[in-house]
Amino acid sequence: MTDWTDAARKLASQVTISAPEWYDAVCATPRHELVPKWWEPVKGSRTFEWAQVVPDVGDPWARTYSDETLVTRVGALHADLAKPDETASGAPTSSSTLPGLIVRMLDLLDPDSNHQVLDIGTGSGYSAALLGHRQGDKMVTSIDVDSYLVQAARERLAGFGRAPRIEVADATGELPDGEYDRMLATVSVRPVPRSWLSALRPGGRIVTTIANTSLLVSATLERGLVARGTVQPDPASFMRTRSGADYPARLDAVYAVAREGDGDETRDLREPIPNLWMDWELRALFELDSPSIENRSATYEDGKQVVWLLSDDGSWARADEGAGKVHQGGKRRLWDDLERVRARWEQAGRFPLHQLAVEFTPETTTVTSPDGSWIIPL
């Protein structure tokens, strides 16, 4: 059986091409000790079922040291605590992020040996391990809202000689005592909490994502608790910060009405339905404009789509390419909102989202288009 270090070196060669200073850290980090098993979706399941994955005895390193995200917790059930053959259902609530994305974010963070770093979202402890290897454990603090994750990460990191400070804390509230030069968030927020800006030293840097948008942002703190930065070229998605064991339930009751209902308004479908999964930039702009809209979709045998947009206020829309119709119900006209955002973006030349400027203040987070005409407070 091949030693894990060979698999770790192979992974490091793959994910640190543009950030060679992190090569040794990836090589030295036994991901298999941090993620002994995980969850993966059950193929063909429409009820968000997940099955356990335990690394194969014959080749235990192939999946663990692949550049992929390993979901470790679904709903309130961590894979560590599941019984053999037990399944889970619901949405992911913790994971070990794909190493390539962690390395890319660390490269943006660009810490030097004198920088105190706050790792927001301990998860499996992988990013804390990489930081501890390069910075030294005394320069790294890691927080997570989940006490089990903190305990497990602390014990597993200690098992291979890493001892960063790891604390239970709500990332949207008060942070552990201290000031930081760098903040890396592997949970998404909207807006950036005041506590982050207060704990960051002037000239310090935050690398984070805006919740539900796939927008990865690097920003530097200026005077007056104002941080300014830009969206990065490639998308990145993280789970939103949570305070409880699980996220709020999906909008199944709204979907039950929207699935086949006529609604308050029916009209012809004027344009092809966008693929909101593939067109992440349009999806991100729509989320910035109209936050927390759940979208679901299905595809007919002939390839035509039907898409549902759902809001927690009971508003909904269904766009059906097969029928060529749009149905909308509730106080808001969600499909009209999507078409308005798409038309505005097209009129602006469909600018790449990495041209967006971002400003964090204690009161709000603001995203501004390249020409300054589109200012969206979050």
CATH topology of domain 253-347: Double Stranded RNA Binding Domain (3.30.160)
- The domains of the chain are located at 253-347
Radius of gyration of the chain (CA): 22
pLDDT at 2: 58
Per-residue exposure over 40-59, b if at least 16 CB sit within 10 Å of its own CB, e if not = eeeeeeeeebbebbebeeee
d(C-alpha 41, C-alpha 47), whole Å: 10
Let me know: does 233 contact 107? Beta carbons within 8 Å. Answer: no
The backbone torsions φ and ψ at residue 371, rounded to the nearest 5 degrees and listed phi first, read: -90, 0
Residue 62 Cα distances to 11, 25, 89, 126, 318, angstroms? 10, 19, 26, 17, 42
Tokens at residue 15, please?
A: 């994910």
pLDDT tens across 216-248, in order?
A: 999 999 988 999 999 999 899 999 988 777 788
pLDDT at 59: 79
d(C-alpha 64, C-alpha 99), whole Å: 10
State the Cα angle at 20 between 216 and 229, rounded to 5°: 25
pLDDT at 1: 44
For residue 189, the cross-strand partners are 210
Let me know: does 259 contact 318? Beta carbons within 8 Å. Answer: yes
Tens-digit pLDDT string for the chain (378 aa): 458 999 999 999 999 999 999 999 999 999 999 999 999 999 866 567 999 999 887 778 999 999 999 999 999 999 999 999 999 998 899 999 999 999 999 999 999 999 999 999 999 999 999 999 999 999 999 999 999 999 999 999 999 999 999 999 999 999 998 899 999 999 999 999 999 999 999 999 999 999 999 999 999 999 889 999 999 998 999 999 887 777 888 899 999 999 999 999 999 999 889 988 889 999 999 999 999 999 999 888 888 899 999 999 999 999 999 999 999 999 999 999 999 999 999 999 999 999 999 999 999 899 999 988 888 888
Strand, helix or coil at 53?
strand
In this structure, what DSSP letter does residue 349 have?
T
